[in-house]
Amino acid sequence: MSALIAIGNPMIDRIEVYIRNEEVATNQAIIIGHPISDGLTTHYCTAKETLKTERVMSEADRLALEVVQKFAGQNGLRVEVCDVSTFRGQLRARLKGIRKTPAVVVGGNRIEVQNIETLADRLKSFLEE
């Protein structure tokens, strides 16, 4: 059993954070597949050049996640991160009524983060209820 927070609500043992990772193209090209050669000519139609991509989190999402992780560490809570750019993440977010990121769910209470500076205070107020 995970540690439950001692302040206020004894049923809260985790904080859910909803973020969005975006796939962005880097300037590095990669080749997918291999050209086929019959010894005389090389057929490049089986190889394809494409841009390499990487997943990037927005600054607001990253800051919200850092605040939640720090708060959870201080209070002995688990953090569950849900990426809404995946099908599973979109489904979970819809079921919780989340329409934009970053968003935080604490014990059934939804916080759509608009101000990072007040996020820790809002988390504490939900835990004390």
Task: Report residue 129 CA to chain centroid gap.
Answer: 27
pLDDT at position 2 is 36
End-to-end CA distance of the chain: 22
Q: How far apart are CA 87 and CA 53, in angstroms?
A: 19
Residue 77's SS3 state is coil
> Does residue 35 have a cis peptide bond before it, meaning omega lies within 30 degrees of 0?
no
Superfamily for the 14-25+55-128 domain = Glutaredoxin (3.40.30.10)
More confident residue, 100 or 41: 100
Mean pLDDT of 124-129: 71
pLDDT of 4 > 50? The answer is no
Q: 54 CB contacts (<8 Å, ≥6 apart)?
A: 23, 24, 26
Output DSSP code: residue 39: S
39-94 per-position pLDDT tens digit: 666 666 666 667 677 778 888 888 899 999 988 888 888 999 999 999 999 999 99
Q: What percent of the chain has pLDDT over 90?
A: 22
Domain ranges of the chain: 14-25+55-128
